[in-house]
Amino acid sequence: MAHVRDVFEKFGSGDQRRCPACGKKISGGNESDSGMVRPHKSWGDEYAECEWVRETTNSGGRKKINKTKASSAEKAINRKFQMSHPITPENVTRAELANGIVVLVKENHTNASVTLRGRLRAGAMYETEANAGLAVFTASALQRGTKKFTFQHLNELYDSVGMSFGVGAGTEIASFGGKSLTEDFETLVGIAEQVLREPIFPEKEIERLRGQIVTGLREAEDDTRYVAWRKFQELSFPKGHPYHHPDDGTEATVKKLTRAKLADFHTKYFRPDGAIFVIVGDVDAQHAIDLVAKHFGGWKGKKGIPFGVPDVPPQPRAMRQDIGLEGKIQSDVILGYPGIKRQDPDFYALRTADLIFGQLGLSGRLGEIVRDQMGLCYYVYSSLGAGIGAGSWMIGTGVNPRNVDLAIEAIGDEVRRLRAGGVTQDELSHAQDFLTGSLALRLETNDGVANTLADMELYSLGMDYIVRYADLFRGVTREQILDAVQKYARLEDAVIVTAGPEKE
């Protein structure tokens, strides 16, 4: 459900043993504390919580907002989180262009810069296993040359004005994002138009990019953590499911992708239908909407393409596979079972349980017991994949090869303890404080606000989500957590994969 870059960025290399707390070389990383956990992280994405947006009424091809007085509840929440620039329904503008593009704008005039973030329905879910890597390759190739700019010209332009822009793809969506000074924002939107709408896929640049992707894949194939994760995905989801194969593909599939296939994928799937543009910063909301309409209002594309991930039929699937890699001194283990979608009613209970079990502090209960007390692993974490489709609830750990079976047994014991007794009231209160108290921090930057708004629109969380946010997590009870854990933490359905030194 993720691709090579995501795994390295999030977890690092399996052989490096980096500590999740301090980054020193002995361990790995954790999931974000975000309430909007996703099964993958695309370029430019940062885990951030959601924020206020306003409903709109149609006016001349786009939608404008009628100002309303903030409720006492809204004001109370903003006081509680002590936001430096409060986010309310009155200061986020939502508009929809005639071609289906949704534009969200949040003005923030504290500094002369603007952030642009977006989502497109152009992820790897639309490729097959035979052409795996097509979405990522296509997204990465968009900046390698457009009708107006060469790759070199774009880079020189970014450097000359301190601007940035990039595109990438994951399983479900393609993401784009950039930053500029206020005075250069129209230039940024113009570049976005060229890159997203007018790429030319120059042959020489395509071959250079292909070489870079293949090099990354070869490096990944020698990393125990990536190898374990990739096989876990393959065993957890049936052949033909979007999560079955890695988004970056394989060396064999990437070598077969032609320029024509990239161009065809772009033509079909990079389209305005379902697109989300979010602009946050030192810009007038109506002016920002007008700029998007100017550069993207005439964008046309195929409509009615399904956007969804098929459910995996419930079935017994317990299995274990051990993979040997020559020359390794560490083993990495992935253990997991079927998870949920972001919109599942059990999300808030299971998200809280996941935080307590394998993330809070130094990797939650797992870190305290399996790593600190028992000394069986270099790092350990749990991760809940919940996006458009149902991902996995998984546990990852890096261990001395001698301790693989002991670590798996210890993790299993902790899962059984969680299923039997749930969480304590102190653990629940701590997790709730963390989830609600960290919201303001995640909204302190333009990037955090922009990614939050984009995800809220993507997952249809509702215009009042921020009003409900605290209650959604504060309302989670120990009984709900126990029910959710017993429903989803099924060791009898667990897939276990280990990757490490070849057994003698």
- In this structure, what token pair is assigned to residue 33? 């504390």
d(CA 377, CA 370): 7
pLDDT at 318: 86
The reported pLDDT for the residue numbered 62 is: 32
Domain ranges across the chain: 38-70+77-296, 319-501
Is a pLDDT exceeding 80 seen at residue 40? no
Q: What is the mean pLDDT of the chain?
A: 84
Question: b/e for 357-384, b at 16 or more Cβ within 10 A?
Answer: bbbbebbbbbbbbbbeeeebbbbbbbbb
Place of tokens 């002369």: 112
Q: Which fold has domain 319-501?
A: Cytochrome Bc1 Complex; Chain A, domain 1 (3.30.830)
Contact in structure between 116 and 188 (CB atoms under 8 Å):
yes
Q: How far apart are CA 449 and CA 280, in angstroms?
A: 7
Whole-Å CA distances, 12 to 5, 39, 45, 108: 10, 17, 17, 34
- What is the pLDDT averaged over residues 154-158? 95
Q: Assess whether the region 38-70+77-296 and the region 319-501 belong to the same CATH fold.
A: yes
Q: How far is CA 329 from CA 4, 111, 324, 332, 350, in A?
A: 21, 49, 11, 10, 34
Architecture per CATH, 38-70+77-296: 2-Layer Sandwich (3.30)
- Read off the pLDDT band of 87 (50, 70, 90): low
Tell me what pLDDT residue 117 has.
Answer: 98
**Tokens standing for residue 350:** 């299971």
Stated pTM of the model: 0.83
| pLDDT reported for residue 443 | 81
Who's near 64: CB < 8 A, 6+ residues apart? Answer: 56, 57, 93, 95, 286
Residue-wise pLDDT tens digits, 449-490: 899 899 999 999 987 787 788 899 999 999 999 999 999 999
